[in-house]
Amino acid sequence: EGVQPQDYVLIKMEVIPPFPSKFKMLEGRNIFLAAATLRPETMYGQTNCWVLPEGKYGAFEINETDVFILTQRSALNLAYQKVSRVPEKATCLLELSGLDLIGLRLKSPLSFNQVIYALPMLTILTDKGTGIVTSVPSDSPDDYMALKDLKSKEGLRSKFGVKDEWVLPFDIIPIINIPDFGDKSAEKVCHDLKIKSQNDKEKLVEAKRLTYLKGFTDGRMLVGEFKGMKVQEAKPLIKNLLLETGQAVVYSE
């Protein structure tokens, strides 16, 4: 971990009932996959959620009604940050693996897609954020390549039991314009750098560097309540909207 603290927004991606049998003991509660993002202004363009198939996750009690699914490490951090009902204690109700999460139906804040699915991403780090990542392929090179891999490789889908209808109908949604990169900046940069797959680590670092800076300084919102506004002005407004409406919480590490 770096020396500078990283401030994330945890997006509460609600699991839509009926729950799978493994989740029976959580019946009657509101269950959320808690995705850590640095780009809350991109949530309009979500196409899916990412989990690490072999990752270890848990369902943690946050308060009387809410349960968050995330890594144990991040649940403990959250408890110390007093988001949890019992400060400094993280109660794990159920241990889960990433494989248990693949295929969950989700309803996520601001998303134009009303229902999205939890899908496998092989490059998720378990020592960063919550181990849950929300996918915005228009603006994130990692998300763009991981979704492209799943769409183009039938073998990858079958390996993880991913149904075609969880992936194939979900197209990239333009949400931000960047003068030099257009309305689908991640696609353009991945194409220009000739990135082959989600495992093309070095080139993806470069793609992220290019889009992240430009998106923040020159990007403009194409959609939503702050349409037409510069990304750097809209970002704190959208973050506050998500926090004030209880659709997200802050998390730092």
| CB closer to ligand A2H out of 36 and 162 | 36
Shortest Cβ 83–ligand A2H spacing (Å): 17
| CB closer to ligand A2H out of 29 and 172 | 172
| CB closer to ligand A2H out of 25 and 205 | 205
Is residue 175 a contact partner of residue 139, using CB atoms and an 8 Å limit? yes
Q: Where are the alpha helices (DSSP H) in 81-153?
A: 98-101, 141-152
Determine whether 73 is exposed, middle or buried from the number of CB atoms within 10 Å of its CB (0-12, 13-18, 19+).
middle
Shortest Cβ 64–ligand A2H spacing (Å): 28
Is residue 30 a contact partner of residue 65, using CB atoms and an 8 Å limit? yes
Is residue 46 a contact partner of residue 248, using CB atoms and an 8 Å limit? no
**Residues found near ligand A2H in the complex (CB under 6 A):** 6, 36-39, 42, 124-125, 128-129, 131, 133-136, 139-140, 143, 208, 212
Angle of CA points 81, 51, 149, to nearest 5°? 145
Shortest Cβ 142–ligand A2H spacing (Å): 6
* Tokens standing for residue 188: 């353009």
| CB closer to ligand A2H out of 29 and 50 | 50
Residue closest to ligand A2H, measured at CB: 129
Shortest Cβ 35–ligand A2H spacing (Å): 7
